[in-house]
Amino acid sequence: PPAPTPLQRSTLFTLCACVLVAQGMVAAINLLVPQLSSSGLHPSPSELLWTVDAYVIAFAGLLIPAGALGDRYGRKGALLCGLGLFAAGAAVSALAASPAVLIAGRGVSGAGAALVMPATLSILMRVAPPEHRPRALASWALAAGLGGLAGNLGGGLIGSYLPWRALFWAMLPLAALLALAVARTAPRTDKAVGTAAPALDPLGTLLLTGGLVALLFGIIESPMHGWTSARILTAFAAGAVLVALFTAHALRSRAPLFDPRVFASRRLRAGALGTAASFFGLFSLFYVNSQYLQYEKGYGAARAGLAIVPLTIGMVLVPRLAARWSHRPRPVAGGGLLLIGLGLLGASTADATTPYALYACWLLVISVGGGLSMPALTLSVVDSLPAHQAGLGSGLSTSAREVGAALGVAVTGTVLAAHTPGGFAGGMEAALRTVALVVIAAAALVALGYGGPRSRA
């Protein structure tokens, strides 16, 4: 096939840079947790978890309606608006005088990221010729995976040499540069009209996002109130009821946020589950990694950020190889998830006496698993839907990533809080072992999910 044009390459680079920054802000805050905990804001342990997760909750909860907005009114405009909202939230966070304001600013930036991610994938799917699409999707998935690593590096450098507010101030010129690059390189795509125009469905958005927030509230607040307390049980019940109400509403509505029957596709179910499980594992690792290296190993924040570099090796080298095997998703996706789970099991054994070289080997196993599985999983979700639902497909794929990341942070923080009285290493072992078993179970389910015939919803 003919090589991509210079403009196509510039567009791909710009879109991947947007993905890298949006995903990086999920992880960058992790390296600043020790600095934030001793700052003048005096956040409680649960407020620290909410500071990490507020961005991810808004990101995950608004992705699908954000993708619908882009499909209806234009993906390039949605991308530019998302970058503006991302920068506005960063400014609020940088000026925060209390944990509540910081959490709110993080939520606003997450809403901006929700506009950015599906727009980038939708534009990419329209710009990349069919013969180059698997490689372009591999690059997009690589940028999403490396975003967490870049966030760790950037957060670590800022945590070592600058106050935590510098992370948010740095996002303002960066978002401005990205917006200028988008304006110059990204083409305007056709808007969906008539029956092809996706629904916005504010009621469905409210029900689905409310269910996710209630579930995360129950997980995050349980160490403080107890798993069997009325408040926590009510939160879990409210989450289940809200998700059930969303499903009933979507099945009856003429214009739902998305039709739950899209999950009739085995490939789409497998892709969404695998994507969520991979980010559940990765962001659980990100949350404990910075604290393990700083509290147990005595590393500074910058050194802790650099110490996660082995995770880049597989993420960089393996996706292009995995793209060649996109026609064999069962061994690629299932095997990649299995490697992530096994790597997490290995990392769970680390303590203060563990040589860094051994810990780095476990990071490398995880990175190979992520690089192997992510392109196949992304393609499974996006390619299971018709072309006019590109925004929905990218929204579902990215929403699965962020829901997995949010749950990973919440579950890991909760297990840590329950076990750290006996020492951080014990809490880390319990947390990563729990997460690893979940990822390994998901790997088996994903492999089974690719057993049926390929179908489009």
Using CA atoms, how far apart are residues 28 and 18, in angstroms rounded to an integer? 15
pLDDT at 397: 77
Domain of 225 in residue numbering reads as 201-256
Res. 455: pLDDT tops 60: no
* CB-based contact 123:76 (threshold 8 Å): yes
Residue with tokens 């690629």: 332
Asked if 24 and 34 sit in the same domain, the reply is yes
Asked if 207 and 59 sit in the same domain, the reply is no
Residue 209 in domain: yes
pLDDT at 34: 82
In 30-130, which ranges are continuous DSSP H helix? 33-37, 45-73, 75-94, 99-127
Q: CA angle at residue 447 from 446 to 449, to 5 degrees?
A: 60
Q: Mean per-residue pLDDT for 449-453? A: 60
274-304 tens-digit pLDDT: 999 998 998 889 888 888 888 888 888 888 8
HEC readout, 69-85: HHHHHCHHHHHHHHHHH
Asked if 241 and 272 sit in the same domain, the reply is no
pLDDT at 345: 94
- Torsion-angle region of 423 (φ positive above 0: left; ψ -120 to 50: alpha; else: beta): left
pLDDT at 421: 61
pLDDT at 382: 72
pLDDT at 28: 87
Residue 287 in domain: yes
pLDDT at 315: 79
pLDDT at 457: 42
Residue 1 in domain: no
Asked if 68 and 28 sit in the same domain, the reply is yes
Helices 390-419 & 45-73, crossing angle to 10 degrees?
180
Asked if 289 and 323 sit in the same domain, the reply is yes
334-347 tens-digit pLDDT: 899 999 999 999 99
Asked if 213 and 327 sit in the same domain, the reply is no
Would you state the torsion angle of the CA atoms of residues 33, 38, 41, 45, taken in this order, to the nearest 10 degrees? Answer: 60
Asked if 277 and 150 sit in the same domain, the reply is yes
Nearest to 142 by CA among 166, 121, 172: 121
178-187 tens-digit pLDDT: 999 999 888 8
Nearest to 259 by CA among 386, 405, 94: 386
Q: Mean per-residue pLDDT for 423-445? A: 88
**pLDDT averaged over the chain?**
84
Q: Answer with the one of 219, 234, 256 that is the final residue of a domain.
A: 256
Q: CA angle at residue 383 from 377 to 385, to 5 degrees?
A: 120
Coil, helix or strand for 22? helix
Asked if 251 and 261 sit in the same domain, the reply is no
CATH of the domain at 25: 1.20.1250.20
Structure tokens at 226: 């107890």
Would you state the torsion angle of the CA atoms of residues 346, 350, 355, 358, taken in this order, to the nearest 10 degrees? Answer: 10
Coil, helix or strand for 254? coil
Res. 1: pLDDT tops 60: no
Can you give the C-alpha Rg of the chain in angstroms? 20
Asked if 222 and 349 sit in the same domain, the reply is no
Contact residues for 271 (Cβ-Cβ < 8 A; gap 6+): 333, 376, 377, 378, 379, 380, 381, 384, 397, 400
* CB-based contact 435:342 (threshold 8 Å): no
Contact residues for 321 (Cβ-Cβ < 8 A; gap 6+): 372
Using CA atoms, how far apart are residues 75 and 67, in angstroms rounded to an integer? 8
Residue 192 in domain: no
Asked if 214 and 337 sit in the same domain, the reply is no
Nearest to 371 by CA among 435, 317, 444: 317
Using CA atoms, how far apart are residues 324 and 317, in angstroms rounded to an integer? 13
pLDDT at 223: 72
252-276 tens-digit pLDDT: 888 787 788 888 888 888 888 999 9
pLDDT at 439: 94
In 295-383, which ranges are continuous DSSP H helix? 301-306, 310-324, 329, 335-347, 356-382
Q: Answer with the one of 222, 239, 256 that is the final residue of a domain.
A: 256
Helices 266-291 & 6-27, crossing angle to 10 degrees?
60
pLDDT at 326: 64
Asked if 12 and 42 sit in the same domain, the reply is yes
Using CA atoms, how far apart are residues 152 and 111, in angstroms rounded to an integer? 21
Nearest to 144 by CA among 397, 457, 390, 386: 397
Q: Answer with the one of 237, 256, 275 that is the final residue of a domain.
A: 256
% of the chain with per-residue pLDDT over 70: 91
pLDDT at 205: 83
The residue among 129 and 434 whose pLDDT is bigger is 434
pLDDT at 355: 94
Total structural domains in the chain?
2
188-226 tens-digit pLDDT: 765 554 444 555 688 888 898 888 888 888 887 877 777
pLDDT at 45: 79
108-137 tens-digit pLDDT: 999 999 899 888 888 887 787 777 777 787
Asked if 131 and 141 sit in the same domain, the reply is yes
